[in-house]
Amino acid sequence: MISLQLHTINPNSSSLKTSSFPISTSSHYFNSKSLKPHFKSTPYNTSTIVSVLQWNRKPQLAGETPRVVVITSGKGGVGKTTTTANVGLSLARLGFSVVAIDADVGLRNLDLLLGLENRVNYTAVEVLNGDCRLDQALVRDKRWSNFELLCISKPRSKLPLGFGGKALIWLVDALKSRQEGSPDFIIIDCPAGIDAGFITAITPANEAVLVTTPDITSLRDADRVTGLLECDGIKDIKMIVNRVRTDLIRGEDMMSVLDVQEMLGLALLGVIPEDSEVIRSTNRGYPLVLNKPPTLAGLAFEQAAWRLVEQDSMKAVMIEEEPKKRGFFSFFGG
Amino acid sequence: MASISTSIPLIRFQSNSFKLTNKFKRQILATGLDFRPEIRLLNCNFSYFNKKYRKKERDFVFRVCCSSSEDSDNKFVGNEVEKEKDIVELEKPVGKLQETVDSIAPILFGMKKHISTNVAVGLCLAIAFVVISIREYLIRKSRSNHHGSVEDLVKRGQLRSDRRGISRPLKYDDPFNNPLVKVSKSNSTVEMCGKVYRLAPVTLTEREQSNHQKRRSRAYQWKRPTIFLKEGDSIPPDVDPDTVRWIPANHPFATTVNDIDEDLAQSNVYQKRGVPFRIKAEHEALQKKLETLQNEQKLSKLVIDPGSVKDFERPFKSFSSHETQDGNDSTPKPDGSVNSSESTTSFDELQKP
Ligand SMILES: Nc1ncnc2c1ncn2[C@@H]1O[C@H](COP(=O)(O)OP(=O)(O)OP(=O)(O)O)[C@@H](O)[C@H]1O
Ligand SMILES: [Mg+2]
């Protein structure tokens, strides 16, 4: 059910940004970092079908930085926070500087998913009140130092809404003008629902990722939220379909991703399968994408992050599991 | 046929190249293999080519190894021919062919005009080989030179192996094209994590997308509220009622009351360095209290020296402290934490007698 961006299907028309990727700049960038000297800067071959490791490929950042992306869903519990944590850390792993803002006031749990809960001393509310500076409220991840977390408020304090979304706009502005340079991505984990918390969270965003599950309740909320985002002027909306089970789709018990797309009419950023590793990684405070070897959901999040960077969308989706073709002698144990 | 006969020079070189180092031998074998397809193509005068090729190889060997004279070259060749005969006898099916090869051989040995070009080719190959081997060596060296990496920190227990990612070169791994993702030749299936999935292309068109957008803009008309008010409050005169969001007074996570005004909050967010506003305010309040206490008790001799105070407060100075400070220079207003602790100790001393 995970989908791929098939460079192989139509290398010219599939995605302009990907196929016109300037090789020279990327390999130059790579060499300047000089992780390993023996990588050849072979051109990114769009016609290869068998998988080959492409060590010199790095997603090309499209659009203006900082890209302010709000991750929202309408319905609760569909995986916004999971998506924020995994996509955020994937972006950091791809070499971009990321600030994740947990705008889920009162029910914050992004810090838990990231395993940073013990290091959140100050939040944005303290910054507004003058109890600390903004740089003191940013929690830097030790695994990836280009990933920072900012929580909006402490679990027991209330968010002062008097300024509306202005406070978030100030925060984004302050991040933009900070000394070490503007972050490439500011990812906002939006609270469920469409009331004050949602309105505040979407204020500074100029693009949105809509997380939905393939069931009708989540889809209706997603459609509503998309409508509100469009009214608010956020036109770049892509969706992530989460918790997809290929075994149920085959039995027609679950909508397929293409059905979901039919109903919402949104470009696909990613399709995440149901994966028990998600829960395990939550328990560990260790996002899935850092797992080695990667799991299905981890790979899917990684691919979604890749597309987010290049402002690309999926061209093909995985529909169902196929029984693996076994060789003639497979019954001998081959 | 061709492949069998071309394998013979290779065998010969393996047996004869006792003078060669391993590396050179490998190089020769490699060039021999490179020639193979060409020989297959030239099936008609195959034997001629084979001899010529063999001679080329031999010349190369001698240039590289010991740059021997011509007669030793010839002697060497004779030797080889005999040896080759032995091999041929062993291999009955190709015997006939090899005989013709050998009968042509002496004629070919007379052809010396190729030698000069052979020298050049041999030299080029030798140089290329030396460059390649040096490069290989340098790469190996740099690869093994990993002392003091993060790996060592993990070994020493300073870092948890599962908590580190920073040193992984996986950074630029393309997730669409890695060993765990294999797309089939027909692009109809993909193998991920050992499972095969069927693929279907995305069919959403631009027009469908804009139709959905139109439908939504009809269904949901919305203006994002820009002002939040507590239920029961009156709308300020200059505010569009459509943009007001009413927050219940007992909303669990939200409050509309701010104990701090908007401009101050904004400047707090933008503050890059220095003591945060609230902390400074608290220090100033404490200082004021101390001053009034000191004035009351008229113990002027224990007042902190204004000069030293200035030294302490310099690093903590920030833009908003200037206005309050410029007016009255005579009274010290330390606002750093060092100062406050100092002043509290002096305060304690005051209380003792
Ligand atoms: N792909 C998945 N496979 C399995 N479980 C998942 C998956 N995605 C999310 N979950 C589980 O769903 C639960 C809710 O996820 P998450 O907290 O990310 O949702 P949310 O949208 O942020 O919720 P809220 O609206 O409360 O903020 C978590 O327990 C998580 O483990
Ligand atoms: Mg959440």
Put simply, whether A280 touches B (Cβ < 8 Å) is no
Does residue A22's CB lie within 6 angstroms of at least one atom of ligand 1? no
By Cβ distance, the residue of B183, B228, B265 closest to A196 is B228
Alpha helical stretches, state H, chain B = 2-16, 22-41, 46-65, 70-90, 95-109, 115-144, 150-155, 206-219, 262-270, 277-297, 306-313, 319-327, 337-351
- Three-class DSSP category at A42: coil
**For residue A321, is it within any domain?**
no
* Distance (Å) from CA A80 to ligand 2 centroid: 5
Nearest-neighbour CA in chain B from A32: distance (Å): 13
Mean pLDDT of B141-166: 59
Strands (E), chain A: 67-72, 98-102, 139-140, 147-151, 159-160, 185-189, 207-212, 236-244, 267-273, 316-322
**For residue A18, is it within any domain?**
no
Report the C-alpha gap between A304 and A83 in whole angstroms.
Answer: 10
**For residue A29, is it within any domain?**
no
**For residue A122, is it within any domain?**
yes
Report the C-alpha gap between B69 and A221 in whole angstroms.
Answer: 90
What CATH number should be reported for the domain holding residue A128? 3.40.50.300
Inter-chain touch B245–A199, beta carbons under 8 Å: yes
Does residue A27's CB lie within 6 angstroms of at least one atom of ligand 1? no
* Distance (Å) from CA B171 to ligand 1 centroid: 26
Q: Tokens representing B153?
A: 């920190």
Suggest the residue from B134, B138, B153, B177 to mutate for an interface test with chain A (most A CBs closer than 10 A). B177
Give the contacts of B315 (CB within 8 A, at least 6 positions apart). Answer: B336
pLDDT of residue B155: 66
| Residue nearest to ligand 1 atom 15, measured at CA | A79
Which ligand has the shortest distance to the CA of A113? 1
Overall domain count for chain A: 1
Q: Which residue has the higher pLDDT, B351 or A255?
A: A255
pLDDT of residue A206: 92
* Distance (Å) from CA A203 to ligand 2 centroid: 18
| Residue nearest to ligand 1 atom 18, measured at CA | A79
Q: What is the pLDDT of residues A101-126, one digit of tens each?
A: 999 877 788 998 898 888 899 999 88
Atom of ligand 1 nearest to the CA of A273: 1
Report the C-alpha gap between A152 and A138 in whole angstroms.
Answer: 11
Q: What is the pLDDT of residues B23-77, one digit of tens each?
A: 444 444 444 444 444 444 444 444 444 444 444 444 444 444 444 444 444 444 4
Which domain covers residue A79, as residue numbers? 67-310
Mutate to test the pocket of ligand 1, among A78, A82, A248 (most ligand atoms within 8 A of CB): A82
Does residue A236's CB lie within 6 angstroms of at least one atom of ligand 1? no
Report the C-alpha gap between B22 and B11 in whole angstroms.
Answer: 15
Q: Tokens representing B232?
A: 């029961």
Put simply, whether A21 touches B (Cβ < 8 Å) is no
pLDDT surpassing 90 at residue B126: yes
Q: Which residue has the higher pLDDT, B21 or B91?
A: B91
Over its C-alpha atoms, chain B yields an Rg (Å, rounded) of 45
pLDDT of residue B106: 57
Across A76-85, A281-290, B80-89, least confident range: B80-89
Looking at residue B10, its amino acid is: L
Q: Which residue has the higher pLDDT, B339 or A151?
A: A151
pLDDT of residue B154: 62
pTM for the whole thing? 0.62
pLDDT of residue A334: 35
Strands (E), A147-260: 147-151, 159-160, 185-189, 207-212, 236-244
Task: Please report which helix (H) or strand (E) contains residue B200, including its range.
Answer: strand B195-201
**Average predicted confidence (pLDDT) for chain A:** 78
Contact of A302 with A4, CB cutoff 8 Å:
no
Residue B262: count other Cβ atoms within 10 Å of its Cβ. Answer: 14
| Residue nearest to ligand 1 atom 29, measured at CA | A279
**For residue A59, is it within any domain?**
no
| Residue nearest to ligand 1 atom 13, measured at CA | A77
Cα diameter, chain B: 127
Residues 26-45 of A with CB under 8 A from B: 30, 35-38
Mean pLDDT of A259-274: 92
Share of chain B above pLDDT 70, in %: 41
Across A174-188, A222-236, B135-149, B259-273, least confident range: B135-149
Inter-chain touch B165–A58, beta carbons under 8 Å: no
pLDDT of residue B150: 58
Q: Tokens representing A97?
A: 């500087």
Residue B245: its chain A contacts at CB < 8 A? 195-196, 199
pLDDT of residue B215: 93
* Distance (Å) from CA A280 to ligand 2 centroid: 16
Mean pLDDT of A1-29: 37
Torsion of CA A279, A281, A285, A289, to 10 degrees: -130
**For residue A39, is it within any domain?**
no
Q: Which residue has the higher pLDDT, A254 or B320?
A: A254
Q: Which residue has the higher pLDDT, B130 or A327?
A: B130
Report the C-alpha gap between B339 and B17 in whole angstroms.
Answer: 86
pLDDT of residue A221: 92
Cα A103 to Cα A110, A189, A224, A318, distances in angstroms? 9, 6, 20, 33
Share of chain B above pLDDT 90, in %: 11
Residue B33: count other Cβ atoms within 10 Å of its Cβ. Answer: 12
From the list A311, A322, A60, A326, the residue with the least C-alpha distance to A209 is: A311
Residue A302: its chain B contacts at CB < 8 A? 175
pLDDT of residue B149: 64
Cα A242 to Cα A218, A268, A275, distances in angstroms? 11, 11, 10
Q: Tokens representing B26?
A: 């490998």
Nearest-neighbour CA in chain A from B322: distance (Å): 17
Inter-chain touch A316–B202, beta carbons under 8 Å: yes
pLDDT of residue B18: 43
Cα A17 to Cα A7, A22, A248, A334, B203, distances in angstroms? 11, 9, 35, 42, 20
Determine the straight-line distance between the first and last CA of chain A, rounded to whole angstroms: 27
Q: What is the pLDDT of residues A216-257, one digit of tens each?
A: 899 999 999 999 999 989 989 999 999 998 777 777 777 888
Nearest-neighbour CA in chain A from B314: distance (Å): 18
* Distance (Å) from CA A194 to ligand 2 centroid: 14
Report the C-alpha gap between A102 and A108 in whole angstroms.
Answer: 7
Report the C-alpha gap between B96 and B241 in whole angstroms.
Answer: 105
Beta-strand relationship, A67-72 and A185-189:
parallel
By Cβ distance, the residue of B170, B179, B196 closest to A324 is B196
Which of A49-53, B150-154, B334-338 has the highest average model confidence (pLDDT)? B150-154
**For residue A225, is it within any domain?**
yes
By Cβ distance, the residue of B178, B196, B253 closest to A105 is B253
**Average predicted confidence (pLDDT) for chain B:** 63
Residue B261: count other Cβ atoms within 10 Å of its Cβ. Answer: 10
pLDDT surpassing 70 at residue B278: yes
Report the C-alpha gap between A79 and A193 in whole angstroms.
Answer: 14
Inter-chain touch B187–A55, beta carbons under 8 Å: no
Q: Which residue has the higher pLDDT, B315 or B153?
A: B153
From the list B241, B205, B247, the residue with the least C-alpha distance to B228 is: B247
| Residue nearest to ligand 1 atom 23, measured at CA | A77
pLDDT surpassing 80 at residue B186: no
Report the C-alpha gap between B35 and B6 in whole angstroms.
Answer: 9
By Cβ distance, the residue of A51, A58, A286 closest to B181 is A51
Report the C-alpha gap between A326 and A333 in whole angstroms.
Answer: 10
Cα diameter, chain A: 72
Mean pLDDT of B234-260: 78
pLDDT of residue B236: 81
Report the C-alpha gap between A207 and B110 in whole angstroms.
Answer: 80
pLDDT of residue A139: 94
Helix A216-231, helix B206-219: angle, nearest 10: 80
Q: What is the pLDDT of residues A184-197, one digit of tens each?
A: 999 999 999 888 88
* Distance (Å) from CA A78 to ligand 2 centroid: 8
Give the contacts of B12 (CB within 8 A, at least 6 positions apart). Answer: B54, B80, B83, B84, B87
